Amino acid sequence: MTTEFTHFIGGEHVKGTSGRFADVFNPATGEVQARVPLASVAELDHAVTIAAAAQPKWAATNPQRRARVLMAFVGLLNRDMDKLAKALSREHGKTIPDAKGDVQRGLEVVEYCIGAPELLKGEYTDGAGPGIDIYSMRQALGVTAGITPFNFPAMIPMWMFAPAIACGNAFILKPSERDPSVPLMLAELLEEAGLPKGIIQVVNGDKEAVDAIIDNETIQSIGFVGSTPIAEYIYGRGCSNGKRVQCFGGAKNHMIIMPDADLDQAADALIGAGYGAAGERCMAISVAVPVGEETADRLIEKLIPRIEKLRVGPYTSGDDIDYGPVVTAAAKANILKMIEGGIAAGADLVVDGRGFKLQGYEDGFFVGPHLFDRVTPDMEIYQKEIFGPVLSCVRAASYEEALGLAMDHEMGNGTAIFTRDGDAARDFASRVNVGMIGINVPIPVPLAYHTFGGWKKSVFGDLNQHGPDAFKFYTRTKTVTSRWPSGIKQGGEFNFKAMD
């Protein structure tokens, strides 16, 4: 019998009542392994009512006690790491080491949020005028919500709920309907760690639940991570409803390879950054930009044998595979359609993975690795995010042309330059209009105590994810100006008259 997931509302597993469900696949076999309920407006609103009732007490719990819950949660994540990674791989398709990385990068943000007592400390100006002091405090927003994508079902929910909870908010998570297991497990673990009921809730669903979040008047803020069209939609409608909203969208990350770069190092980096997790990462490199024809020829020569050695298979193969299937049959069909479009547009498909088949897994959503050379900026494979194991090489005649490509693209999540020239690297980092830059680092995901976020169409909103920005996003500043006319005379004698 197929497993039927629940919601996690008020500290309980609750069956869906809308009568609508989505299938959850095992991408390696193509089989439906479970179904997930899709919440109605009434179910979402019910969760919000419970959250609103529980939140004031949690906000009044001192930050150190709140941090202790997160500390205990970190212990439980480490205890259950293998279990979480297995559940994640089974629904997402990524390898077990990748799945552990997914949990680990979320866990690191939870660790950062244990610093809440320090991070929530306010500001104080003593003696701003005669007897006047000014102080600012950071207060919780109330009920907050997050909508997350399929590709990091552990990390991204933790990037949102850890700071939200640390700041004293209640949090409603609407995870991707493709891989709901891990978000539900995380909510259970938080409760085991001592989080009061109603402070974290998981409401599964699709557009109906998302729209219910946007329109619910009690919800104060929305965090979103996913594709750009949905990010733009949620940001526009959420802001016009008066909410605080931050939305992180898609990407098309360029890696510039200068003629002086160590080309073996650059080629190895492109293999990991272009094909790891089947290219289903918002920080994946999808465009290689070698500078100069000679650099391009040598790079392609080094890439081809490395790509041909990539091992593609199910997560159950353990360390013997480099990447797994993509998430759904629809995702696979879209990637293959984009590849056909690239060929038709005249790009040179130098590694063709279209015929890839895996014995025993014929119905799985596997896509072999592809490499396009001589891609040009007018092609759809260059302009759009493919989100699959497909790397495009755009040859640039000069550094300025390469920089211009990264700058003119509408996406601006991450980018990298490979070079031995400090001057070129410094110039690139300073001029490029992209949010996260790698210098000889292909996937420059900042650690938890810095912030994460792109520019241009990769983001809608002002503040980044995690790091100090998260504590700003999940709190409001209140500033008090107080005046206590001094009753103390010089010399220390108390002057009651001055107090009249």
Beta bridge partners of 255: 288, 416
What per-residue string of b and e applies to 247-274 under the rule 16 or more CB within 10 Å gives b?
Answer: bbbbbbbbbbbbbebebeebbebbbebb
Q: What dihedral angle (degrees, nearest 10) is formed by the CA atoms of 126, 129, 130, 134?
A: -40
Q: Which is nearer to ligand NAD, 54 or 234 (CB)?
A: 234
Q: Which is nearer to ligand NAD, 295 or 413 (CB)?
A: 413
Shortest Å, Cβ 176 to ligand NAD: 4
Give the Cα separation of 131 and 490 in Å (integer): 14
Shortest Å, Cβ 22 to ligand NAD: 9
Residue 126's SS3 state is strand
Single out the residue of 139, 194, 126, 186 nearest to residue 159, CA to CA.
186
**Would you tell me which residues interact with ligand NAD (CB under 6 A)?**
147-152, 174, 176-177, 206-207, 210, 225-227, 230, 248-251, 282, 385, 387, 413, 454, 458
Give the Cα separation of 391 and 146 in Å (integer): 31
Shortest Å, Cβ 136 to ligand NAD: 30
Token readout for 4 is: 């039927």
Active-site residue identified among 113, 167, 247, 282: 282
What is the C-alpha R_g of the chain? 25
Shortest Å, Cβ 128 to ligand NAD: 40
Single out the residue of 32, 28, 31 nearest to residue 366, CA to CA.
28
Q: Which is nearer to ligand NAD, 102 or 373 (CB)?
A: 102
Q: Which is nearer to ligand NAD, 58 or 452 (CB)?
A: 452
Q: Which is nearer to ligand NAD, 385 or 469 (CB)?
A: 385
Q: Which residue number is nearest to ligand NAD in terms of Cβ?
A: 226
Shortest Å, Cβ 248 to ligand NAD: 4
Query: Is 282 noted as a catalytic residue in this protein?
Result: yes
Residue 476's SS3 state is strand
Q: Which is nearer to ligand NAD, 263 or 448 (CB)?
A: 448
Residue 495's SS3 state is coil
Token readout for 296 is: 């391009």
Shortest Å, Cβ 458 to ligand NAD: 5
Instruction: Write out the E strands in 331-448.
Output: 348-351, 370-373, 390-393, 411-412, 414-418, 436-439
> Phi and psi for 233 in degrees, rounded to 5?
-65, -50
The catalytic residues are 282
